[in-house]
Homo-oligomer: A and B are copies of this chain.
Amino acid sequence: MQRSLTIALDMMGGDYGPRSSIPAAVEAVHLHNSLTLILCGNETLIEEQLSRLDALQHPRLKIKHCTQIVTNADEPAYALRNKKDASMRVALDLVKSGEAQACVSSGNTGALFAIAHYVLKMLPGIKRPALISTVPTQTKRPVYLLDLGANVHCDAHTLYQFGIMGTVVAREAQDIEYPKVSLLNIGSEDIKGHEGIKAAAKLMSSCNTINYTGYSEGSDIFSGKADVIVCEGFVGNVALKTCEGIAKLIMHKMTKALKKHLLYRGLALLLMPVIKKIYKKVNPDQYNGASLVGLRGIVVKSHGNASASAFLAAINEAVKEVQRQLPEKIQAAFAENEPTPDTSAENS
């Protein structure tokens, strides 16, 4: 890592708060020697965890005391209006003011989405932000799936814009010149999707930035035939969480089957590391962060019951996005394709 960079962390989110976010922060400054972290949250709790790890005096770990916490029970609109000194809000404000180049949180997704949208605003010409993450495939490269739940329903133009954003993210992260973009649809032998998807396919086909390669079905997600798969948030969220569920089920059935026979019980001990490694890989929601793209700033969301290693993975993702200058690259792609002067009226 060359340039020095600063990331604001919401220390109070997720099921474990500072107990998982502090070990991750300490590890992150060890890994990246020009990284400074601003730890937003309750000063007492943060100091307690820091001193446990002998990191209270670390010069690149700075505490920003906040008096409020956004809980999982908070409605997004309520959190936005009433929690202006919450760790999540303060971390986003630091990105807005330029004191930090990115924000990482494992807190309430709906609130994070609403506050980030309000504080950071959209990049010019972009209608809606999207939550994007990778899913493993049978090839060496993962596939980028968006939207994962930031927008329940999406019109054709929004899906098309997600195609551009997904292209930029995959291109920058995976170093692919023309990432293959696909729209998630139901089987071509079934009723062939709704009008919105057909219209999005048309828009994508006629866009120079997007290497549109047709529809994918749910079963194609993991085949590696596409680098980016676009769908509306409801569908993407269900698909991602279905992966999580089925991976858990397979683990459960496999463990049970292996333990059933004495012969297999011995094998199970040998095989468990292999099975667990695969489980981690197919359970991306848990182990990678998801990024909110389309905003004038970098926001990475870690899973709500993220461990320290998952929170660290989210910090690492934020570091990479800063280095890749992701918002600037997205903005440049939109300037080429949709040279709208400004749509800030839409972004309020």
Tell me the A residues contacting B by CB distance below 8 Å.
Answer: 72, 76, 108-110, 113, 136-138, 149-153, 184, 186-187, 189-194, 217-223, 231, 233-235, 237-250, 252-254, 257-258, 263-264, 267, 270-271, 274-275, 277-278, 281-282, 304
**Given contacts A193-B234, A257-B278, could you give 6 more A-B pairs where the C-beta distance is less than 8 Å?**
A109-B190, A110-B191, A191-B233, A218-B244, A246-B282, A254-B275
Contact of A248 among B219, B233, B252 (CB under 8 A): B219
Does the CB pair A239–B218 fall under 8 Å?
yes
Does the CB pair A245–B267 fall under 8 Å?
no
A109-B187, A234-B235, A237-B187 given as contacts; is B249 within 8 A of A136 (CB)?
yes
> How many whole Å from A88's CB to the nearest CB in chain B?
13
B-side contacts of A152, CB under 8 Å: 186, 191, 193-194
- Distance, CA A223 to CA B246, complexed state (A): 9
A190-B110, A239-B238, A253-B282 given as contacts; is B274 within 8 A of A245 (CB)?
no
Does the CB pair B190–A218 fall under 8 Å?
no
Does the CB pair A249–B138 fall under 8 Å?
yes
> How many whole Å from A269's CB to the nearest CB in chain B?
11
Does the CB pair B304–A189 fall under 8 Å?
yes
B-side contacts of A220, CB under 8 Å: 245
> How many whole Å from A234's CB to the nearest CB in chain B?
6
- Distance, CA A188 to CA B242, complexed state (A): 15
Does the CB pair A109–B242 fall under 8 Å?
no
B-side contacts of A217, CB under 8 Å: 237-238, 241
- Distance, CA A151 to CA B194, complexed state (A): 10
Q: Interface of chain A, helix or strand or loop or mixed?
A: helix
B-side contacts of A194, CB under 8 Å: 152-153, 234
Shortest Cβ-Cβ A-B pairs, 3 listed: A218-B241, A218-B242, A219-B245
17 CB contacts below 8 A, A to B, read A76-B191, A109-B189, A152-B186, A152-B191, A187-B241, A189-B304, A194-B234, A218-B239, A218-B240, A218-B242, A221-B245, A222-B248, A247-B250, A254-B274, A254-B275, A257-B277, A264-B270
A149-B186, A189-B109, A189-B110 given as contacts; is B239 within 8 A of A242 (CB)?
yes
> How many whole Å from A18's CB to the nearest CB in chain B?
19
> Which of A113, A150, A253: most chain B CB closer than 10 A?
A253
- Distance, CA A263 to CA B270, complexed state (A): 10
Does the CB pair A252–B186 fall under 8 Å?
no
Q: Which residue of B lies closest to A72 (CB)?
A: B189
> How many whole Å from A218's CB to the nearest CB in chain B?
3
Does the CB pair B267–A271 fall under 8 Å?
yes
> Which of A186, A217, A221: most chain B CB closer than 10 A?
A186
- Distance, CA A208 to CA B149, complexed state (A): 32
- Distance, CA A184 to CA B239, complexed state (A): 11
Contact of A253 among B150, B184, B193, B281 (CB under 8 A): B281
A241-B217, A257-B277 given as contacts; is B234 within 8 A of A246 (CB)?
no
B-side contacts of A253, CB under 8 Å: 136, 138, 278, 281-282
- Distance, CA A326 to CA B17, complexed state (A): 51
> How many whole Å from A249's CB to the nearest CB in chain B?
4
> How many whole Å from A326's CB to the nearest CB in chain B?
23
